[in-house]
Amino acid sequence: MSKKPKNYCVPLGQNRSISRRDAILAGLAGTTAATLTGQASLHGQVSTGAQGDHLQQSGTPSLHSDDRKAATKHYAAKKSINLWAFPYPDRMSLEECMRLAKDAGFDGIELNYDLENDLSPKASKESLLGIRRLADKIGIEISGLCSFLFWPYPLSSLDQSKRERGIELAGLIADAAATMGVENVLVVPGAVHIPWRDDHDPVPNDVCEKLAREAIGQLVSGAEKKKVSLNMENIFFNGFLMTPMEMNRFVDSFGSEHVQVHFDTGNISMFQHAEHWVPILAGRTKNVHFKEFTKKGTDYSLETFRPLLDGTTNWPALMDELERVDYDGFVTFEYFHPYPHYPEALIYQTSDSLNRILGREV
């Protein structure tokens, strides 16, 4: 036990001597504060916020007052999780994944379109409707459709056959969304470079933009008829649409409310900050991916992303910016590595983290 300084005194606990009068006054101040607190409690009022500088009326939901626990305010965004966080299809069926997401407290689940599984070109209209009916029965929304097919078949590929196949697949994804009554379709409009593929020739920036505009232009009328939203995703790794201003110009150039933005927090976090993009994108943001990233690392591959809160993302600042632009849609956790052991843990851990980020009950 450390020795107290010679002039240490109680009740002020300060390293200076005080007179008997000061001690009495300090005691009276403490008694008065306690009395006022008791009176506030009797009137149904509690102090909230880190500084306790405002009172909340009785009957309204209490907010967390300790920012070490969770956000000290409630945000309107809805919780969602992408199917890639589950061991699907190897160890869990689509139904098991949706039920687990619901049981863990998610409002929605984002499904992925590929070439082989439940959502694919092989799926019949009836099977797609069956997925929607199953989601409704479970009580979980389908927050959007996503796909990795934009990488083997980039919409800006110099290979015309790949480019045309990519446009065809994007149309099929939009068709599936329309059949299932899902509004949001994530689209990767182009790529200058794809670091995780060795079969993609680099595309000059101006050529990439030209081809991407042509590809999206072919999809717009179909999206308008199907009443789905083609949401352009920002992806730093592909060297295209590297700033929110570029994204805005690209999206606005189509003059359609069915071409919007799918904002991904992690994809720009290597050299930028997610909270800076939000006010610039403004009302164009139709859907959001929450991906955790750490600026302390040096791995710039898909392995760089982490479970939520285990990184350098400024979640409080990001949520404040989303609130300022009145965003109340889905925030979807996207992660590519289901836990090899006890995979349910990742789902429940993520739900808990999102509750804390969104200021929900924990």
Residue 270 confidence (pLDDT): 82
Residue 42 confidence (pLDDT): 38
Residue 298 confidence (pLDDT): 64
- The token duo for 196 is 């995780």
Is residue 305 a contact partner of residue 266, using CB atoms and an 8 Å limit?
A: yes
Beta strands in the chain (DSSP E): 46-48, 54-56, 78-82, 108-113, 141-147, 184-187, 229-233, 259-264, 285-290, 330-333
pTM of the model: 0.82
* pLDDT tens-place values along the chain, 362 residues long: 444 444 433 333 333 344 444 444 444 444 444 444 444 443 444 333 333 333 333 333 447 899 999 999 999 999 999 999 999 999 999 999 999 999 999 999 999 999 999 999 999 999 999 999 999 999 999 999 999 999 999 999 999 999 999 999 999 999 999 999 999 999 999 999 998 899 999 999 999 999 999 999 999 999 999 999 999 999 988 999 999 999 999 999 999 999 999 999 988 888 899 999 999 999 999 999 999 987 776 665 666 778 999 988 999 999 999 999 999 999 999 999 999 999 999 999 999 999 999 999 99
Residue 216 confidence (pLDDT): 98
For the chain, give percent helix, strand, coil, nearest 5: 40, 15, 45
> C-alpha angle 178/179/180, rounded to 5°?
90
Residue 56 confidence (pLDDT): 37
| Distance from C-alpha of 71 to C-alpha of 317, rounded to nearest angstrom | 11
Coil, helix or strand at residue 24:
helix
The per-residue DSSP string of 207-238 comes to: HHHHHHHHHHHHHHHHHHHHT-EEEEEPBGGG
Residue 25 confidence (pLDDT): 42
**H/E stretch holding 29:** helix 20-42
Is residue 241 a contact partner of residue 234, using CB atoms and an 8 Å limit?
A: yes
Q: What is the set of domains in the chain, with CATH numbers?
A: 78-358 (3.20.20.150)
